[in-house]
A and B are shown apart, each in its own frame.
Chain A
Amino acid sequence: MTKKYILLVEDNPDDVMLTLRALEQGHVINNVIVAEDGAKALDFLFGKGEFEGRDTADRPGLILLDLKLPKVGGFEVLDAIKKDPLFKRVPVVILTSSRQEEDVVRGYDLGANSYIRKPVNFDTFVETVKQIGMYWLLTNEAPEAS
């Protein structure tokens, strides 16, 4: 349980700070790795580029994924994760600004486990992030690491 960490894929530094703050306030988990764009997220997960040699068996317990990202977009990251035999079971929660119907549908079609729209009100945001963390890291039963 202590080994578990969250991969936060988010390019906006404000949102990174606020999400970290919310996670902290929600007492969910302290161990968060931040990837500022989609390419970095994929490099981290698959041990490529600057993460060459990383133990890829060390998978995050939850991925929080923004959709509008530089270089490689959120949907591409999602697609790559859900198509990979090792990473496909890692829960991916889309955490984004948009509630466009086509985004929601596409997200689920690509295998997203949840779709959450970031609320403007920070109190609500804290509550939301807390719920996400509690549910996916504690309530939900994850498969044994293989």
Chain B
Amino acid sequence: MKKNSIINLNSVWIGILIVSAVGVLGLFHAMSAPGSFFVWFHTIGLLVLLYFIRFIAEGNKHFISREIDSSIVKFSPDAIITISPDGTILTWNASAEKLFGYTMDEAIGKPIAFLYNLDWVTKEAEIRNHIMEGASFQQLETVFIAKNGSEVNVSISLSPLKDSNDNIIGLSKIIRDITDKKRSENEIRTLNAELERKVIERTTALQNAYDEMEAFTYSVSHDLRSPLRATDGFSQALLEDYGDKLDTTAQDYLARIRSASQKMGGLIDDLLQLSRQTRTTMVPSTIDLGIIARQIISELTQQEPERNIEVVIGNDMSAYADANLMRIALDNLLGNAWKYTSQHSDTKIEFGSMTQNGEKVFYIRDNGAGFDMAYVEKLFKPFQRLHTVQEFAGNGIGLAMVYRIIKRHLGRVWAEGEIDKGATFFFTMGLSESTYQHMEEQS
């Protein structure tokens, strides 16, 4: 390119020189002998002068645009190669040198096929005719082979190479190194595949665990209760049929066996209920917890009509929740308040709501046995009790159930208490119609 432009520059100056000489000569003759042969000579000289001026201007224009073209090609980060219709390399820029490792001298004049992989040879043969007819192709991706034998991921744009008269004289190729892009793509693909594999793996593990739990629950409910029934039943049979042969100690032992079997039966039932809680489908709606609470209190009153308890239920008790689950939770919370006030006179149970930091907080307060705040952490754990069975009956499953139910409603539950002063249980309901719908869509 550079060589060509020097030749062009010289010819421009020679042109200017000749034209000036002829022009000056013509002018001189025209002045010395007007109307003669020299006038014609002068006229011709002027015409030649005008032609050359135009020629210089044109030449300059081409010269400038060629210089711009040449620097774009030279400094382009993309490899730019031109080839003849038969595939011989015509030009080879610095980025091509850098990308493929061949110098300009090594490349120019050689057939370009040494860069190609077999697939691309076929592909380019297919599209070359279209290019020679004027079509161009953008960003076709393939792999080229560099001088050191390494594979280079490239994106190629091909277009026809034209001379100044718009005749197609070959092909130009702009080749971009997309090795990094390909590497990132591959990394993303690998990561995605890995992620997908992990998701499948975890889902399977979760499903297995779930199935196992189902099988376990089924087995517990079916098989474990059966021996307990036999233990209790035959102990009773012994007492009934051979009671007269047993002294009171023996009878007491049998009574203890029965009581223990029945207790274990109860524990199994509670465990099953606890596990069922987390598995049942939730059907939330806007409900009035106050109505549920009144039903529970009325049932408790029917069971123990002799209890004289002042019950206060607040007005603003609406919540977006599953009615069945909240019934179980309130059964336990109000049942506890009822139970733990049994040894106090002037008892009061209050179920209300308040707003704390913009959040609706429900509370159930009683003035009963209370508890030591040192053990507050244990309250909501299954089978943890802060009182003996002799003091207050129970198995330590109720508050664990409450905890799970409130958690399922995206809420929090906590408690405050003081021994012999009473206890207050607080809970929030994080679930709203929109969050529930979002959760449903997610699953």
Contacts and interface: CB of A to CB of B under 8 A. Distances in A.
Main secondary structure of the interface of B (DSSP, over half): helix
Contact of A123 (B223, B236, B265, B266): B236
A122 B232 contact: yes
Interface residues of A, number: 21
B335 interface: no
A15 B228 CA distance: 11
Given A120-B261, A120-B262, A98 B222 contact: yes
Given A120-B265, A121-B265, A97 B233 contact: no
Interface of A: 12, 14-15, 17-18, 21, 67-68, 96-101, 118-123, 125
Interface string B411-429: 0000000000000000000
B222 A97 contact: yes
A69 to B, nearest CB: 11
Interface residues of B, number: 25
A105 B173 CA distance: 73
A33 B155 CA distance: 85
B47 interface: no
Q: Name which of A14, A98, A122 has the most chain B CB atoms within 10 A of its CB.
A: A122
A18 B233 contact: yes
Interface string B231-258: 0111111000000000000000000001
Interface of B: 217-218, 221-223, 225-230, 232-237, 258, 261-262, 264-266, 272, 276
A12 B222 contact: no
B120 to A, nearest CB: 62
Contact of A99 (B221, B230, B265): B221
Contacts of A99: 221, 272
B374 to A, nearest CB: 36
A121 B262 contact: yes
22 contacts: A12-B226, A14-B227, A15-B229, A15-B230, A17-B233, A18-B234, A18-B237, A21-B237, A67-B222, A68-B223, A97-B223, A97-B229, A98-B218, A98-B222, A100-B217, A119-B229, A120-B264, A120-B265, A121-B258, A121-B265, A122-B235, A122-B236
Given A21-B237, A123-B236, A118 B222 contact: no
Contacts of A67: 222
A121 B228 CA distance: 9
A8 to B, nearest CB: 15
Contacts of A96: 222
A100 B264 CA distance: 18
Closest 4 CB pairs of A and B: A120-B265, A14-B230, A122-B233, A18-B233
Contacts of B233: 14, 17-18, 21, 122, 125
Contacts of B223: 68, 97
